[in-house]
Structure 1
Amino acid sequence: MTRQEATVALGAFGACLISVFMQMIDVTIVNTALPVVTTELGASRSQQLWVVAGYSLAFACVLLVAARIGATAGRRRTFLWSAAAFTAASVWCGLSTGAMELVIARIVQGVAGAGMAAQTIAIITATFRREHHQYAFAVYGAVAGFAGMLGPILGGALITVDPFGLGWHAIFLMNLPLGVVAIALAWKFLRMGAAPEREPLDLRGTVVATGALFLLLFALSDSQQAGWRPVHAGYLVIALVLGAVFVAHERAARRAGGRALVRLDLFSDKAFAVGSTLVGIFFGVFTAFVFTVSILLQDVLHFSALRTGIAMTPFAVGAGVGAVGSPILVNRWGIRALSAGIALFAVCVAIGIAYLHITDGTVNLPLVMGPTFLAGFGVGVFGIPLQPLMLANLDEHSLGEASGLLPTIEQIGNSVGLATLSAVFFQSHTLTGSTTMLTAITAAALLLSALTLTLPNHTPTATTPWTFSTP
């Protein structure tokens, strides 16, 4: 790679890193600030939950379509428009004066975020030579994971410091300078044009897929604030029927020689099929854990936003260390490293449950720093290599096809995790409710550890892409 090629690649890569940083941090930073936002805007319980769920719902429903639009209209054009829309929507969120206005702005932000997220895997794959994918995706994954962990910490700091008197508005307005830099980098260095032959978007498949995803995720999200009702079961049944119709339609489209919205043949690869299951479960477990700990510390143990951020700092640091060390561990022990990593997380959560029982909810932060760090370390070791291993057998074209599918699977996992959290914990903000949810998370993590051993044991090489897509 010449110096000019390296400059172009790094510039485009920088745009991708900033975009994934904004997307990931925007999911978790809201968790810490949500109590303050709710109070200042007078948000109802439903509006409070939709500030979070509206973003995730819009994000998930648009991903598949955004990936196809990027493939036909051009990754560069789609990324630039999406980045501009995300930045503008972030400013709108930061300037919102009412709860419903904030919910609508968050939905727009989710749509734009999906437009960016659906392009990044394909952009990095095309920007770097195959022998450099391992390093590019390792950095990309570390930034994504770190941003997700940094969210609660930064949210607590911004609420406490209150820069320029902005209060909670700062958690959204911080995206303005970041978005401007991402747009500038992409405008100058991103050089992916439109496809030579533009194939029409599969409108029928798009409508069916979007309807199925919306009903599925809406049922899971709405049950969080309304409790589980028969109507939610009806939504799920309709979503499953639409899902079956979508699969049949996609198979028929492929047999007829058309361009399907989703390449279902990707699941014929065992690594991709097993990995998709693991990704969905992992994101559900991780989302439930972050929300449970955030609500436990603030609502049950009455920690301030800043102290909540401080309490989660060892977890974020541990995750960063685990992410950096994961390639070395996987090179030596293969998938057993991933299995051990998520098992370590489960053991540390179990230790935390025992500690809460013994102390009756009194937490000594210096005393729990060790287990908290190790829990984050285990998540980093598991989360970073998982998707590269499941993508190891795919060619560059297939990686582009997976660019919208993988984040969709992650978002479904997120929503399932939140729905479970709602059923077990949201209705009872007590210490008992906290430990019950953490016990369920421990059991799910141990199950994940066992299932990981069924993943084909590829040893990463210079041709293996290391990636971590956005939830």
Structure 2
Amino acid sequence: MDQTQSTQTTPKKAAPWPTLTGCLIAVFMQMVDGTIITTALPTITKDLKASPQSQLLFISAYALTFACTLLTAARLGERLGRRTTFLTSLLIFTTASMWCGISSTAPELIAARVLQGCAAGGMAAQTIAIVTASFPRNRHPQVFAILGAVAGFAGMVGPILGGALVAANLFGLGWQAVFFINLPLGLLAFALTFRYLHLGRPEHREPLDPAGAVLSTASLFLLLYALTDIQQNGWQSEPFALMAAASACSTVFFVQQRRQTRRARNPLLRFDLFADRRFAIGSILVTVFFGLFTAFVFAISITLQDELHFSPWKTGLLMTPFALGACAGALAAPFSVRRWGVRTMTVGITGYGLCVAVGAAYLDMTDGDVSIPLVIGPVFLAGFCIGLFCVPLQPIMLSGLAQRQMDAASGLLPTIEQIGNALGLALLSAVFFRAHTIAGSVTMFAAIAAVALGLGVLTLFLPEPDRS
């Protein structure tokens, strides 16, 4: 069935910019909750008497459930309506954030993070479809750039915000504030989207494809759980068995989705998206970059607090130039893309890789004796380069897709991003977490730099976008 039949329509009195504002707040909360906890981890671990395994699950439980629910949530949005699914998920996310804040044990916090991740997936799977239905096609590059900038900024500002909230100890809340901050934000986002988001139910409601939903969820869960187990316990036999099971489930899922496509049904996974070269190459870039950045943020937090004994506030303060640089890079990116095309992304990710490599060398030479005034400039430059790379990534990746393909991309693109998050945290930091030493951190940052330089090479294969 043609995808246009399931696309939702926008009434004449739609208000796209207030709708976008509500979606941006939701995107900010989704992304910031993946990283805001990093600078609060030592305090949370001590307060809840959590084990090292629980410490990792505070982060990975959110990322794992976020990734596993996206494809199914996108189909629920097509069937039940984007507005209904988005608002329901937003309410659940806000409630789960409150539950996180009042948790008194590590298992309770992990359970709350699982619910929070599921709700975040429900929101994220609707965002692209809502935006493309709310704005005319000629506005899409501008809106996608704004979405990308907010998502990137949220990921970067998360550790700073977390450190500031823990240090400020507002109303005596301590680490609970990193979750309670979602309450006013969630209520504001709900008010805006409830009032201004006017998408109705789809005219043609596609079946849920329960077999595809079960297979995709099982495949992602087995893979990501195996990677988390490797991160916690090393390379043992159990995670390899889980990865073999994940491969088997994935194979069955792809065969089942191919059969759905041949039967002219609407599969969860639209293979025709990857026929577009920008989307295919962009998918690789997104997966690797999100993994790279998640590992970088987490490694920075642990290195500064556990090895260099920085306070959460001092950690956030050191990362402030990075966030400011990213904002500057985000502002410069659209002009740079119009002038130099995808080479902007090449320069951005390559510059970031070189900055991280210099940082690793400096950490090794000084044996952790870091001079904050000396590193402010390179930290700002690294953030600037990240802004140049990540802001154009999503607009360029989606620029070749037809309108009928955007609903499918709404669930698939955030799935790719969250798989990258989980892969990066599990793979790039596996050795790091077992060697809480300066040498372990140097190795970690050197690996991040090498992967970033590899991404720079891959950007050279991206087709040039329309620079208008």
Which of 63, 68, 93 in structure 2 is aligned with 1:61?
68
Q: What aligned pairs does 1:109-120 form with structure 2 within 5 A after superposition?
A: 109-120=116-127
Query: Which of 377, 382, 406 is matched with 1:370 structurally?
Result: 377
Cα drift, residue 19 of structure 1: 0.2
Shift of 1:5: 7.0
Mapped to 2, the partners of 1:411 and 1:216 lie a distance apart of: 13
- The answer to whether residue 300 in structure 2 is matched with residue 269 in structure 1 is no
Secondary structure at the residue paired with 1:318? helix
1:357 Cα offset (Å)? 2.2
The CA deviation string for residues 96-134 of structure 1, in whole angstroms up to 9 with x for no partner, is 111110000000000000000011111111111112222
Say if 2:148 and 2:394, in contact at 8 Å, map to a contact too.
Answer: no
**Larger CA deviation: 331-340 vs 428-437:** 331-340
Query: What corresponds to 1:342 in structure 2?
Result: 349
Q: Aligned equivalents of 1:134 and 1:277: distance in 2?
A: 20
Render the CA deviation track for 1:240-276: whole Å, top value 9, x for unaligned: 1211111111111111111111101111111111110
1:199 aligned to which of 203, 206, 210: 206
Instruction: Report the equivalent of 1:419.
Output: 426
What whole-Å deviation, never above 9, does each CA across 1:327-363 have from its counterpart, x for those lacking one? 1111111111101100000111111122112222111
Shift of residue 6 of structure 1?
Answer: 8.7
CA deviations over 1:271-302 (Å, ceiling 9, x no partner): 11111011111111111111111111011111
For residues 67-82 of structure 1, the aligned pairs below 5 Å read 67-82=74-89
CA deviation after TM superposition for structure 1 residue 202, in Å = 0.4
* Structure 2 equivalent of residue 447 of structure 1: 454
Q: Are the counterparts in 2 of residues 330 and 459 from structure 1 also a CA contact under 8 Å?
A: no
1:398 aligns to what?
405
Residues 1:177 and 2:184 are matched in the alignment: yes
Matched, 1:360 2:378: no
Q: 1:39-438, aligned counterparts within 5 Å?
A: 39-438=46-445
The 3 A distance-change label for structure 1 pair 309 and 6 is farther
Q: Which amino acid aligns with 1:334?
A: G
Shift of 1:135: 2.2
Distance 2:264 2:424 in 1: 38
Moved more, 56-65 or 279-288: 279-288
CA distance in 1, matches of 2:242, 2:36: 30
Deviations 1:146-185 (A, max 9, x none): 1111111111111111000000011101111111111111
Give the whole-Å Cα distance in 1 for the aligned partners of 2:24 and 2:397: 22
Query: Is the CA contact 2:429–2:444 (under 8 Å) kept in the aligned structure 1?
Result: no
Report how far residue 7 of structure 1 moved.
Answer: 7.5
Amino acid at match of 2:442: T
Secondary structure of 2:15's match?
helix
CA distance in 2, matches of 1:8, 1:387: 23
How far 1:384 sits from its partner (Å)? 1.1
Write the deviation string for residues 67-99 of structure 1: whole angstroms up to 9, x where unpaired. Answer: 111011100000000000000000000111111
The code of the aligned residue for 2:268 comes to: L
Give the superposition deviation at 1:198: 1.0
User: How far off its partner does 1:422 sit?
Assistant: 3.5
The answer to whether the Cα contact below 8 Å between 2:78 and 2:206 also exists between their aligned partners in 1 is no
SS in 1 for 2:36: helix
Distance 1:422 1:353 in 2: 15
User: TM-score with structure 2 length normalisation?
Assistant: 0.96
Aligned to 1:33: 40
The separation in 1 between residues aligned to 2:307 and 2:261, in whole angstroms, is 53
Instruction: Name the CA distance, whole Å, in 2 between partners of 1:415 and 1:106.
Output: 15
**SS of residue paired to 1:141:** helix
Q: Check 1:300–1:439 CA distance in 2 against 1; reply closer, same or farther (3 A cut).
A: same
Structure 2: gaps of 5 or more residues: 1-10
The 1-side partners of 2:407 and 2:373 are apart by 45
Distance 2:143 2:283 in 1: 22
Contact 2:40 2:175 in 1 (8 A): yes
TM-score w.r.t. length of structure 1: 0.95
Relative to structure 1, the CA distance from residue 6 to residue 24 in structure 2 (aligned partners, 3 Å threshold; closer, same or farther) is farther
In the TM superposition, residue 383 of structure 1 has moved relative to its aligned partner by: 0.8
Q: Give the letter for the 2:321 counterpart.
A: P
- Give the drift of 1:447: 0.6
Q: Which deviations, in whole Å up to 9, do the C-alpha atoms of 1:15-50 show, x marking residues without a partner?
A: 101100111111110000011000001111111111
Aligned residue identity for 2:140: H
For residues 442 and 276 of structure 1, what CA distance do their matches in structure 2 show? 20
**Whole-angstrom CA distance in 2 between matches of 1:349 and 1:432:** 15
The equivalent residue for 2:20 is 13
* SS of match in other structure, 1:228: coil
Contact in 1 for aligned 2:291/2:425 (Cα 8 Å): yes
Unaligned runs of 5+ in 1: 462-471
CA–CA separation in structure 1 for the residues paired with 2:200 and 2:356? 47
Q: CA RMSD in A?
A: 1.3
Residue type at the aligned position of 2:248: V
Which letter does structure 2 place at the counterpart of 1:374? L
Q: In structure 2, how many angstroms separate the alpha carbons of the residues matched to 1:460 and 1:88? A: 43
Query: Quick one: distance in 2 between partners of 1:234 and 1:408?
Result: 23
Q: Deviations for 1:358-386, whole angstroms, at most 9, x for unmatched residues? A: 22211111110111011111111111111
CA contact 1:145–1:320 (8 Å) conserved in 2: no
CA drift of 1:416 comes to 1.5
Q: Give the match's secondary structure for 1:194.
A: coil
Structure 2 residue matching 1:210: 3-state secondary structure: helix
Q: Distance in 1 between matches of 2:32 and 2:96?
A: 15
Amino acid at match of 1:182: A
In structure 2, C-alpha distance between the alignment counterparts of 1:88 and 1:225, rounded to whole Å: 29
- Are the aligned partners of 1:223 and 1:422 in contact in 2 as well (CA < 8 Å)? no
- With 430-439 and 284-293 compared, the bigger mean Cα shift is at 284-293
Q: Give me the whole-angstrom Cα distance separating, in 2, the residues matched to 1:120 and 1:5.
A: 20
Match for 2:217: what amino acid? Answer: T
Q: What amino acid maps onto 2:424 in structure 1?
A: G
Q: Is the 8 A contact 1:389 1:460 kept in 2?
A: no
